[in-house]
Amino acid sequence: MSLVSTAYDAMIARVEALFPVTHGSYQRLSNTYDVEANPDIYLDMGWGVAFGQAVNTNRNLCSLVTTKRTVTVVLTRTNDATDNDDSGRDTVIKALLEDGRTVVNDFERGFRLADTDINCQFISDGGVETAGPDDSFYYVLRLQFEVELFDAP
């Protein structure tokens, strides 16, 4: 198995450890690449990991090729507040942001994935977005990470 598979498994394991799947809590999204394609029950409190593009860092270290791959951790929460319930909506958004901070803090404390050949660094988040019918039913937070792999050619 290559380091890409190791990084994939490590990212899933890290986020799953933060948000274990139990009744009434976070569920792993079945399709992280198209959030709205997931069943509603997963979007109520969902998480997923999406692997994006990789670029060659053009650093040759001891005959190892290094690449950086964009990885997105996606968190979702349902907007169960009515149009006039500002407090309820604020509570949901703050909970989503706090969950995002939990993920970022975990990766800031331990930036290595699985072993010494995989670095992981938080880059940014895209802010709170809406998804669902009329773009108002679910809140989505996408956290961008960069995973650097030192792999043999």
With respect to CATH, is domain 3-151 assigned 3.30.43.10? no
Nearest to 104 by CA among 44, 21, 6, 14: 14
- Give 87-146 pLDDT, tens digit per residue: 888 999 999 999 999 999 998 887 666 666 688 889 999 999 998 766 568 999 999 999
Evaluate if residue 152 carries a pLDDT over 70.
Answer: no
Neighbour count for residue 72 (Cβ, 10 Å): 19
* Global pTM value: 0.88
Task: Categorize the per-residue pLDDT at 24 as very low, low, confident or very high, splitting at 50, 70 and 90.
Answer: low
Share of the chain above pLDDT 70, in %: 87
